Amino acid sequence: MTSVTSLFAPVESDLSQMTDNLKQLVGARHPILYAAAEHLFGAGGKRVRPAIVLLISKATMADSGLKPTHRRLAEITEMIHTASLVHDDVVDEADVRRGVPTVHASFGNRVAVLAGDFLFAQSSWYLANLDNLEVVKLLSQVIMDLAEGEIQQGLNRFESELSIEAYLEKSYYKTASLIANSSKAAGVLSGVSEPVAMNLYNYGRHFGLAFQIVDDLLDFTSSMDALGKPAGSDLQSGNLTAPVLYALEEKPYLNVLIEREFAQETDLEQAIDLVLSSKGIQRSWDLAKHHAQLAAEHLSDLAPSASRQALHTLTEYVLSRGH
Amino acid sequence: MTSVTSLFAPVESDLSQMTDNLKQLVGARHPILYAAAEHLFGAGGKRVRPAIVLLISKATMADSGLKPTHRRLAEITEMIHTASLVHDDVVDEADVRRGVPTVHASFGNRVAVLAGDFLFAQSSWYLANLDNLEVVKLLSQVIMDLAEGEIQQGLNRFESELSIEAYLEKSYYKTASLIANSSKAAGVLSGVSEPVAMNLYNYGRHFGLAFQIVDDLLDFTSSMDALGKPAGSDLQSGNLTAPVLYALEEKPYLNVLIEREFAQETDLEQAIDLVLSSKGIQRSWDLAKHHAQLAAEHLSDLAPSASRQALHTLTEYVLSRGH
């Protein structure tokens, strides 16, 4: 399988430029945020979200190339994503992400809250200055959805009655909304028609759902080394994902363990084993595959190009992670 | 002296309606935020910022009355202000505000970060849906300035070389920017000309600076009961305000106490006494008065009305607090 880096070849230099800009922007004026910026925009981030924005921008501009507003949109997308990660880590009291300590763990709550607020603030300012009210609306909806997703996740901890539909809704808020709306926004900035814009939105939505389902699967099927965080950590914190919700249908004892919030020493380990030995893993892969295929089908408006090909290959790549 | 409540008479019913809306909005869908909403939008808040927005809106609409967008702008202004307070309390680890425990102290970091993010998110969404790009830009600048102000305050702790100009700049970012830009935005929504809009901006800017200087004075001259927080708490946390900066010019020992960050038991008490016995208090009152007068002078475009009168009386009221 191709690496994600080679997939991004059509926009690789644009992505490097973006990363440098973001480090400068956050770090240059504020020593207090400098270390956080290095940390946030340094090695490790896959930059999937801005890559999709840039690939869609190229694919919808034919030979005219990227506009400055496309590049700015990619930056905004990565800033919003990063801001929400930083605050999520405060809220979840997470100490490790992508195998490195979180901003919250390294620099404390104070810097983490400030850094997140600064990134949200800078992104709304950039957004306003794109001078496109439709794009402002699309991305401010994302900021709302991210807050909604984080709150829903907080409300539904250890809620074993959660339906797959409610899980997908939460996954939309937490992950797919940003990819869907920024994909559409990239098309809007290129001046595509409304039906094409909606197809780009649905590409992003289904890709985002597949991406999140695979992420949730990897929490069970990957090792600590590959994940950069302990396996089963979603389950431990009461965040019930697709593999668990499917497993609950065939393993009633799993419900007992969840209801008592893994109070006894071997509870978590037993619960993980129950999930792994259920059909939940395969059914979740099937669900991810379903959304990845739907994503690919929404690319049919785009003329053939290296960027369109990369967007298509991404829908296969998302399924190959950890398989 | 009139009470602030009677000052707001021309918009009192609009303010009550706004408070009910905000409680509903934040609390209704999310039990996790319900208690926080009661706390945030319950009794205690003076609602100076939305009151100014509503008064300016009425004063610039003559007999036509408030538009729905004016009411929405007032809500946005209060939401942004409240969001920034909630996050400031996390960053400053403050336990008490307006005499009641902070969200951070009552419900923990988790709810405080979520509640702040939710309010910021909701305000950017409302903002985008005002469908006025100029207003979006004005208020997104405010969100940037608030983040900048909080970061500057973090950087300059115990920095006794701080100039009065740098103090005023920080006060603009922290306090005056929101009042200035929302005052201007209220005029923009009424369709005033650019020079009138700039005068409204300057009314808000000078009013905001006077308001902040008086707040900083009250930290020295008021009792715990009146303040709702311990006296001298700005100084204790290294936030050096006008009275301290002026006092430093005549009391060299104050510098020694600040440089060692009040490490010895009686340091803070001594420092407060040095400030109170200096000309810093009077000079700060003069500075506040100067800005309050400048604010009043920027109201001359407005035709006489109860709302205009209230805006004028506010510039006197701001100086009377605690005097």
pLDDT tens per residue, range A30-81 = 776 777 777 778 766 779 999 999 999 999 998 788 999 999 999 999 999 9
- CB-count exposure of residue A199 (10 Å: 0-12, 13-18, 19+): buried
pTM of the model: 0.91
> Is residue B39 within 8 Å of B103, Cβ to Cβ?
yes
Mean pLDDT over residues B152-173, rounded? 92
Would you state the pLDDT for residue A92?
78
Mutation target among B76, B103, B113, B118 for the A interface, most CBs of A within 10 A:
B113
Cα distance between residue A35 and residue A38, in whole Å: 5
Does A157 contact chain B (CB < 8 Å)? no
Which chain A residue has the Cα nearest residue B155? Answer: A32
Mean pLDDT over residues A76-102, rounded? 84
CB burial readout A73-102, b (16+ within 10 A) else e: bbbbbbbbbbbbbbbbbbbbebebbeeeeb
Does B320 contact chain A (CB < 8 Å)? no
- Tell whether the model's pLDDT for residue B44 goes beyond 70: no
- Rounded to the nearest angstrom, the minimum Cα separation between A138 and chain B is 9
- What's the mean per-residue pLDDT of chain A? 90
Does A141 contact chain B (CB < 8 Å)? yes
- 3-state class of B157 per DSSP? coil
Helix axes A133-155, A103-128, angle to 10 degrees: 150
Give the pair of three-digit tokens for residue B225. 């009961």
> Is residue A46 within 8 Å of A15, Cβ to Cβ?
no
Q: Which residues of B touch A121 (CB under 8 A)?
A: 140, 143-144, 146-148
Mean pLDDT over residues A83-103, rounded? 81
Give the pair of three-digit tokens for residue A199. 């197809």
Would you state the pLDDT for residue B249?
97
- Tell whether the model's pLDDT for residue B1 goes beyond 60: no
Inter-chain residue contact A113 with B90, CB threshold 8 Å:
yes
Q: Which residues of B touch A128 (CB under 8 A)?
A: 133, 136-137, 140-141
- In percent, the amount of chain A with pLDDT more than 70 equals 93
Inter-chain residue contact B122 with A147, CB threshold 8 Å:
yes
Amino acid in the structure at residue B35: A
- What's the mean per-residue pLDDT of chain B? 90
Which chain A residue has the Cα nearest residue B154? Answer: A32
Question: Which residue in the set B90, B110, B124 is minimally distant from A124, CB to CB?
Answer: B124
Mean pLDDT over residues B69-81, rounded? 96
CB burial readout A271-285, b (16+ within 10 A) else e: bbebbeebebbebbb
CB atoms within 10 A of CB A127: 29
Sorted by where each begins, the domain ranges of chain B are 4-320
Cβ partners under 8 Å of residue A316, min gap 6? A292
Q: How many residues does chain B have?
A: 323
Indicate the helix (H) or strand (E) that contains B172: none
Question: Which residue in the set B30, B121, B136 is minimally distant from A136, CB to CB?
Answer: B136
Would you state the pLDDT for residue B8?
92
Q: Which residues of A touch B128 (CB under 8 A)?
A: 133, 136-137, 140-141
Question: B4-320, which class in CATH?
Answer: mainly alpha
Would you state the pLDDT for residue A99?
72
pLDDT tens per residue, range B190-207 = 999 999 999 999 999 999
- In percent, the amount of chain B with pLDDT more than 90 equals 68
Q: What is the DSSP string of A51-64?
A: HHHHHHHHHHSGGG
> Is residue B112 within 8 Å of B103, Cβ to Cβ?
yes
Mean pLDDT over residues A280-286, rounded? 97
Does B154 contact chain A (CB < 8 Å)? yes
Cα distance between residue B73 and residue B75, in whole Å: 5
pLDDT tens per residue, range A184-231 = 999 999 999 999 999 999 999 999 999 999 999 999 998 666 666 667
Give the pair of three-digit tokens for residue B137. 């830009």
List the single range of A60-64, A241-245, B29-33 with lowest mean pLDDT.
Answer: B29-33
Does A154 contact chain B (CB < 8 Å)? yes
Would you state the pLDDT for residue A312?
97
The residue among A221, A241, A219 whose CA lies nearest residue A230 is A219
For chain A, helix, strand, coil in percent to 5 are 75, 0, 25
- DSSP 8-state secondary structure symbol assigned to residue A217: H
Residue whose tokens read 């003329």? A303
Amino acid in the structure at residue A254: L
Instruction: Provide the β-strand partners of residue A96.
Output: A101
pLDDT tens per residue, range B78-113 = 999 999 988 888 887 777 776 777 777 777 788 888
User: Dihedral through CA A43, CA A46, CA A48, CA A49, nearest 10?
Assistant: -40
Would you state the pLDDT for residue A1?
45
Inter-chain residue contact B147 with A117, CB threshold 8 Å:
yes
Mean pLDDT over residues A89-111, rounded? 78
Q: ∠B276-B278-B280 over CA atoms, to 5°? A: 85
